[in-house]
Amino acid sequence: MLERMKNEEADQGRQAAAKRNEAARRIDAENRRIADERKAERMARQSEDNKLWDGYFRSAEEGDAEREREKVNRLMEENRALAAQRQQERLLQNKRDQEYESAVQRYAERAMEREKSCELKKKAHERKLYEDLQRQAEERRALDKHESGDGLNFYPVSSDTESQLERKKKLEAVQKLQEENYKLAEQKRLQKRAEFEEELRRAKESTQNAAQAIEEEKR
């Protein structure tokens, strides 16, 4: 059982690392997308400028160079103003996206911490119950050994005149008490396990909701 708990803890660590790597991958992909958009805009702006200057040179050959030059300068100025406006809008949007991404990442990390805390609490509780059950099993084996006649000094008699029947009744009472304690401990174990599993389910659901929110925002 202890080995299973260690394996589960290792799995939790690997899952947390995988989630962090996935978040880093999404951020890197978003940065590449933004860089590609900026490059495409620069190329489109350069292409538009080239078209304007081509028109200017054609008009110059036809004798209307001055008017065409003014037109080219005016259009290029408009293009630069529009590009600056789009750049500002994109910077604001990127800032909002980064703030949202950071908020969601913090939320996901807190949910992962809560999930890990629930797992650790559950494992510690299960370990304690396992040790309690082992101790109770040892006590029951000692009691059975005493009843079979191999440990008559396990419980001291009150006097030399105490009958075998009285000792048997005392042993039966002790055994009954041990069984009741075992049943009570088992009930508490099941109740605690249900509570831990419910808390763990809520923590995992919070993590999944955070991841889903990121994916929906990207789409």
- Whether this model's pTM surpasses 0.85: no
pLDDT digits (tens, 9 = 90+) for 147-188: 555 444 444 444 444 566 676 676 677 777 777 777 777 787
The pLDDT value recorded for residue 35 is: 82
> Which parts of the chain register pLDDT below 70?
1-9, 12, 55-66, 68, 115, 130, 143-165, 167-168, 170-171, 207, 210-211, 213-219
Domain-by-domain residue ranges, the chain? 2-218
CA geometry: angle 116, 117, 123, nearest 5 deg = 90
Q: In angstroms, how far is CA 60 from the centroid of its own chain?
A: 66
The pLDDT value recorded for residue 150 is: 46
The pLDDT value recorded for residue 152 is: 42
The pLDDT value recorded for residue 83 is: 83
| Residue 196 and residue 125 in contact, taking contact as beta carbons nearer than 8 Å | yes
- How distant, in Å, are the alpha carbons of 46, 52, 78, 115, 161 from that of 58? 18, 10, 21, 70, 131
The pLDDT value recorded for residue 158 is: 46
